[in-house]
Amino acid sequence: MKKFKKINLNINLKEVLNFMPDIDFNINLNINFFIVLVLFIVFLLMMALNSYTPLIIDDMVRLFTKDMIRIEGISDIIANEKYKYASVNPYQVGNFIAGILLILSDSLADFVNSIGFCVLIYMISSYGFISKKESSSVQLLNAGLVLLVFLLMWVSIPKFGNTFLMIPSIAKYVWVPILCLLVITNARKIVIASQADGQMVGICRMLFMIIFSFLAGWSQENLAIGIIFIFLYYIFRSFEGERKNMLVLILSMLSMLTGFVVMMSSPSRRGAGGPSHVMGDIYAGASKLSVFNNDFLNLVLLFMIAAIILLVVSRLINMEKNWESEIYLLSGIISFLFVSLLPIGDKNPVFMPAIFFIISGLISFTEIGENNLIFSSACLGFILLIYVVLFIPSIPGALTANKDYLSRYSAREIIIIDNRTNGHFENIEIPSIGAKNTYMAAYGSPDGSNDPKYWVNQYISKYYGVGSVLVR
């Protein structure tokens, strides 16, 4: 049965196509179908949730400029981000990605974001993959790690929907972390390749590293600081090899620091730390909306303790192993300590510290698994059992709550459109559709009020092209 679990394809296209003999077309594809199956199931679940998620107030805020002009294209996004950089916040990388996602069609955005979530899950879990052995049990173990990372996200992260289903949050907590992980995983591969065979990095990859490092430095304060700390470790490790790729890593670090300076020197940082407000500039007031609570702190402590335990066990097993897991653990701690740098309210400011702790634990788990596969498999199976028991009961509630919310949202939308069609544009009464399930994008977001001048009401009015609305 092993051949159905993993396929190794070695194809020599030179012999098949018999042309361009000076180019090597050898392709080696390794597919773990256990991992593919897990990611496919996750993709289907996220597609269902995304398809039940309409635009909420946080999305509508980013569809308009300060002057309440709707953003229609990339040029509008760029112009709006210039204003935001000077007056609202310095997170142009995430803001730009969110702007692109918002101008896509709903179905395309749902597909892209579901794929992005799966990519993030895979990139994180890949730190724990055991690659020295090719048995089917190892393939199943690696797939179990992918499932575990997803379950950690689903069960442990408070306000899952608010973090992974709302477009601005998807940009900040899915696509920006993917960008940053691309940088550090490539730095990791460069160091490993340099130590193994002294392979030089090509021009295209070097440009990729420099450009994406700049964007990673411009991502978010505590995230960028954590990435910089990890990158410094990989530069230090590169001294152990032939140092052929030292220049690439140094240039990437300089690019990352440049992006960080651009973010930290934003004029918006000087006035963005004040309390949230809903009077005056409704655009700035909406941008400072915060739903942060202590559940996130408990999450960080839980993951940090787990990472420390795995680190100690792996170090006892192999005292000679590198310090990578310790570096990611310290990066998570540093990133957490620098949450105070955030100038505005954040949906989940400790998300990336938690991710660093997870990666640290996975790196330690790899060391344990490569030395004692049976013990690590038993531990993983036990943890998976606990999380599966917690996961299964939450699925029906999550799907039902989102489906019901979409139904009520559509009914409210029909009321507004019917009034507009009949020439009634002012003081349109609409029902409240508050979200009460943590797996909903609108959970924790305001729903409007009976005051037509309230900033939420104004965005709803502008989005539907009417004068004013009143939420009953």
Residue type at 197 in one-letter notation: D
pTM of the prediction?
0.87
CB 311 within 8 A of CB 326: yes
- Distance from C-alpha of 207 to C-alpha of 331, rounded to nearest angstrom: 26
Going by C-alpha positions, the residue among 167, 221, 161 that lies closest to residue 350 is: 221
Distance of alpha carbon 248 from alpha carbon 287, whole angstroms = 37
Q: What is the pLDDT of residues 147-192, one digit of tens each?
A: 999 999 999 988 899 899 999 999 999 999 999 999 999 999 888 7
Angle at 250 between CA 247 and CA 251, to 5 degrees: 85
Q: Can you say how many angstroms the Cα of residue 293 is from the centroid of all Cα atoms in its chain?
A: 19
More confident residue, 271 or 237: 237
Given a cut of 60, whether residue 119 has pLDDT beyond it is yes
Radius of gyration of the chain (CA): 24
Nearest-CA neighbor of 284 among 292, 276, 294?
276
What is the C-alpha separation between 472 and 449, in angstroms, rounded? 7
Instruction: Quote the CA–CA distance of 459 and 285 in Å, as a whole number.
Output: 12
φ, ψ of residue 55 in degrees (nearest 5): -70, 130
- What's the one-letter identity of residue 4? F
pLDDT in tens, 195-211: 666 677 788 889 999 99
A 10 A CB-CB count for 19 gives 9
Q: What percent of the chain has pLDDT over 70?
A: 83
Q: Which residue has the tokens 């013990």?
A: 375
C-beta neighbour count of 377 within 10 angstroms: 17
Query: What does the block give as tokens for 446?
Result: 């305001």
pLDDT grade for 276, boundaries at 50, 70 and 90: very low
pLDDT tens by residue, 86-117? 988 899 999 999 999 999 999 999 999 999 99
pLDDT value of position 195: 62
The answer, yes or no, to whether residue 304 has pLDDT greater than 80, is: yes
Q: CA 129, CA 365: separation in Å to the nearest integer?
A: 9
DSSP 450: S
Residues 369-380 have a mean pLDDT of: 89
Residue 364 confidence (pLDDT) above 50: yes
For residue 429, the cross-strand partners are 470
In 403-462 the beta strands, taken as DSSP E runs, fall at: 428-430
Query: How far apart are the two ends of the chain, measured CA to CA in Å?
Result: 61
Chain segment 420-455, per-residue pLDDT in tens: 999 999 999 999 998 889 999 999 888 888 888 899
Type of residue found at 164: F
pLDDT digits (tens, 9 = 90+) for 213-232: 999 999 988 899 999 999 99
Sequence spans of domains, the chain: 54-392, 398-471
Exposure string (b/e) for 289-323, b if CB count within 10 Å is 16 or more? bebbeeebeebbeebbebbbebbebbbeeeeebee
233 or 198, which is more confident?
Answer: 233
From 437, 434, 428, 438, select the one nearest 461 (Cα to Cα).
428
| DSSP notation for 16-32 | HH---TTS--EEEEEEE
E strand spans, 299-401: none
Overall residue count recorded for the chain in this entry:
472
User: Residue 416 phi/psi, 5° resolution?
Assistant: -65, -45
Helix (H), strand (E), coil (C) string for 160-204? HHHHHCCHHHHHHHHHHHHHHHHHHHHHHHHHHHHHHCCCCCCHH
Query: Locate tokens 């269902």: which residue?
Result: 48
Rounded to whole angstroms, the Cα distance separating 398 from 411 reads 20
Overall average pLDDT of the 395-423 stretch: 94
Model confidence at 131, pLDDT cuts 50, 70, 90, reads confident
- Catalogue the E-assigned strands of 287-435: 428-430
Q: What is the pLDDT of residues 184-193, one digit of tens each?
A: 999 998 887 7
